[in-house]
């Protein structure tokens, strides 16, 4: 948990500095790319988290993978290396992106469905987000066949579960209580 709090602090500090230097958009692009790359590359994640791999090797690997990064992003990498916190780079990236979106008034809604979203369901989800929060949102779509049908909508700390699996679970609990 302390790693999570540290990641938030680093992300806030980076956002503040990047706003001051008028580079927050460029840094956000770096953070989105880093979060995505680390998530998709098991090898890169293992290198970052390995206590056996030396910090200098980690730094050279990261700077090689993200060589076109903004100077502020490179400074973040240097700081994380110096403070022995490079393993939280992915978390810092995710928190920076979330904080950047909040600062810009952009809300991200995660929608989990049993099948890929079509335009009709997407418009229903967007209207539900507008109803719940009063704001428009961007949608991240996740496909999870285990929910059977319907959708699970998550916006910030709010979750709206309209999945068939949830309804069946509620029905099962009602029958077992009676």
CA dist., res. 16 & res. 24, Å (int): 8
Write out pLDDT tens, residues 7-47.
999 999 999 999 999 999 999 999 999 999 998 999 999 99
Provide the pLDDT for residue 178: 62
Write out pLDDT tens, residues 123-164.
887 887 778 777 778 888 888 888 888 778 888 777 878 888
Co-location of 36 and 51 in the same domain:
yes
Task: Give the domain-ending residue among 87, 103, 119.
Answer: 103
How many residues in the chain?
178
Write out pLDDT tens, residues 71-128.
999 999 999 999 999 999 999 999 999 899 888 877 888 888 888 888 887 888 788 7
Co-location of 72 and 18 in the same domain:
yes
pLDDT band per the 50, 70, 90 thresholds, residue 1: very low
- Percent of the chain past pLDDT 70, that is, above it, reads 98
In our burial notation (b when 16+ CB lie closer than 10 A, e otherwise), range 30-62 reads: bbebbbebbeeeeebbebbeeeeeeeeebbebb
pTM: 0.69
Co-location of 96 and 135 in the same domain:
no
Co-location of 26 and 68 in the same domain:
yes
Those residues with Cβ within 8 angstroms of residue 37's Cβ, 6 or more apart along the chain or in another chain: 44, 65, 66
Q: Residue 122: which domain range?
A: 108-177
Co-location of 25 and 94 in the same domain:
yes
Helices (H), 54-163: 55-65, 71-82, 89-103, 119-133
Co-location of 66 and 85 in the same domain:
yes
Co-location of 78 and 143 in the same domain:
no
Task: Give the domain-ending residue among 103, 137, 168.
Answer: 103
Structural domain count of the chain: 2
């Amino acid at each position: 948990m302390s790693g999570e709090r540290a990641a938030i602090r680093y992300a806030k500090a980076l956002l503040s500095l990047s706003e001051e230097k008028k580079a927050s958009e460029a840094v956000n692009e770096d953070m989105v790319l880093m979060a995505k790359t680390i998530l998709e590359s098991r090898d890169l994640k293992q290198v970052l988290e390995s206590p056996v791999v030396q910090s200098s090797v980690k730094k050279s690997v990261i700077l090689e993978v993200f060589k076109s990064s903004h100077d502020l992003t490179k400074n973040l990498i240097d700081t994380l290396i110096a403070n022995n916190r490079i393993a939280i780079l992915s978390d810092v990236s995710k928190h920076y992106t979330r904080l950047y979106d909040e600062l810009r008034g952009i809300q991200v809604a995660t929608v989990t469905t049993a099948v890929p979203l079509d335009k009709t369901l997407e418009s229903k989800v967007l209207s539900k987000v507008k109803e719940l929060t009063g704001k428009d949102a961007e949608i991240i779509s996740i496909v999870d066949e285990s929910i059977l049908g319907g959708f699970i909508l998550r916006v910030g700390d709010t979750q709206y579960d309209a999945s068939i699996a949830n309804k069946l679970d509620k029905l099962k609990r009602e029958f077992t209580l009676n």
